[in-house]
């Protein structure tokens, strides 16, 4: 499962160009590596959010 510390590491080693960027809101996009398994995630500490991919979601709006 995704622990917060593992996500912190993933975020630290994933550049903007290489990350998933699935949008959660206009202010949060997925910071996990492109093609990752499991849920999308963004933010740090108490701002951490996780979300499932939604088929009606338009991906990569920021790219």
Minimal distance, residue 46 CB to Zn ion, in Å = 20
Minimal distance, residue 53 CB to Zn ion, in Å = 7
Which residue lies nearer to Zn ion by CB, 11 or 22?
A: 22
CB-CB contact of 19 with 34 (8 Å): yes
**For the chain, what is the total number of helices (H) and then of strands (E)?**
1, 4
Site residues, Zn ion (CB under 5 A):
20, 22, 30, 32, 40
Minimal distance, residue 5 CB to Zn ion, in Å = 18
Phi, psi of 23 (to 5 degrees): -85, 130
């Amino acid at each position: 499962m995704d622990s917060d510390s593992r996500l912190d590491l993933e975020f630290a080693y994933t550049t903007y160009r290489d990350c998933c960027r699935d949008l959660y809101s206009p202010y949060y996009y997925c910071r996990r590596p492109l093609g990752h398994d499991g849920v999308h995630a963004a933010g740090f500490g108490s701002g951490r959010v996780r979300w499932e991919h939604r088929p009606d979601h338009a991906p990569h709006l920021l790219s």
